[in-house]
Amino acid sequence: MAPPMKTVQVVDLTADTPEKKKPKNRDKENVSAGLKGIASPRKFKQRLTASTNTHPPTQQPSSRFSIELIEAIISLDAKASHDVLIKLITKSPTISTELHKLLFLSTTTTTKEEEPATTGWKRKATGGWEECTPTPTKKIKTTVSVVKRYVKCAQCNQQFDTCSNIGKICERHPGEVEVIDGGFPDDDEMEYDRPRDLQKDWRFKACPDQFVWSCCEGDARARPCRRGRHSEVNNDNGEPGSSESEEEEEEEEEDEEEEEEEEVVEDEVESEEEEDENEDEISETESEKQRARHDHH
């Protein structure tokens, strides 16, 4: 009996074999699609991380003030400014502390006080007792007081900064404003019921030539005849018509002397510079002459 025949399957290696379809990786497709148009994968990663964050980014406060904010603050009147500041200090302790630093000044006063000495007794070396009074001790007491930085001037009724009260920044009329003789002849109110404060009356600006200052005899348009520093106490004790008080006259004389000294120093410096320039010119001309002689020889 013949043995069974074996069947052999021949495979042609040169023929194209169909490849098995691999399952698509959706994540890689999404990544490759997102990388299109992006130069660096790091940027895509940052974008992917930002997209997963559902909370909106917090806006950082600007370190500079905007022009709109400054204009809004300037446009506020006194009452609105007070309301805004009070709301800020009630909400933020930091703002309250900073405002306190800006609006108040601390002054330190040191005084020496003597403590009363008590009389005692001490034993003598030779025996017995004698009365002794010790030297009173001195105690140094330091007092810290807080004062307002911005106060109202009693002379010009303007608020001023006590830290920059330098120079002749307080301008005012120390006298009284009066109506000239024969002024407003047909105005019954000015004749029989004259306002107490003529500077606040509408006629003061409308008819300045009908008013006169008792201190300088100028009309309502006249510039302030007295200038000096602001003060919480009214120092206008000069006679009507005077332009400066005694203290301000002394300050003015001191300022004039300082200005004259500065001018003298400037003149001396200029003269020295001119002398140096002349000496330089003379030395240059002499050197040129020597060169010319040398070239000639």
pLDDT digits (tens, 9 = 90+) for 126-165: 666 666 666 666 777 788 888 899 999 998 889 999 998 8
Mean pLDDT is lowest, of 29-33, 98-102, 107-111, 137-141, for: 29-33
Tell me, yes or no, whether 181 lies in a domain. yes
How many domains does the chain divide into?
Answer: 1
Tell me, yes or no, whether 13 lies in a domain. no
Continuous segment of H or E residues that includes residue 178? strand 177-179
**What does the mean pLDDT of the chain come to?**
73
Tell me the per-residue pLDDT of 248-288, one tens digit each, with 9 for 90 and over. Answer: 555 656 666 676 777 777 777 777 777 777 777 777 777 77
Tell me, yes or no, whether 236 lies in a domain. yes
Instruction: Give whichever of 60-64, 106-110, 116-120, 221-225 has the largest mean pLDDT.
Output: 221-225
Tell me, yes or no, whether 22 lies in a domain. no
Q: What pLDDT band is residue 87 in, cutting at 50, 70 and 90?
A: very high
pLDDT for res 182: 80
Tell me the per-residue pLDDT of 237-258, one tens digit each, with 9 for 90 and over. Answer: 543 333 344 555 556 566 666 7
pLDDT for res 266: 74
pLDDT for res 239: 39
Residues with Cβ < 8 Å from 285, sequence gap 6 or more?
A: none
Mean pLDDT is lowest, of 103-107, 133-137, 199-203, 230-234, for: 133-137
Tell me, yes or no, whether 215 lies in a domain. yes
The tokens describing 246, both together, are 């005694």
The tokens describing 213, both together, are 């200052």
Tell me, yes or no, whether 238 lies in a domain. yes
Q: 164: domain range?
A: 159-248
Q: Is 171 within 8 Å of 248 (Cβ atoms)? A: no
Residue 35 predicted with pLDDT over 90: no
Q: Is 161 within 8 Å of 149 (Cβ atoms)? A: yes
Tell me, yes or no, whether 242 lies in a domain. yes
Tell me, yes or no, whether 198 lies in a domain. yes
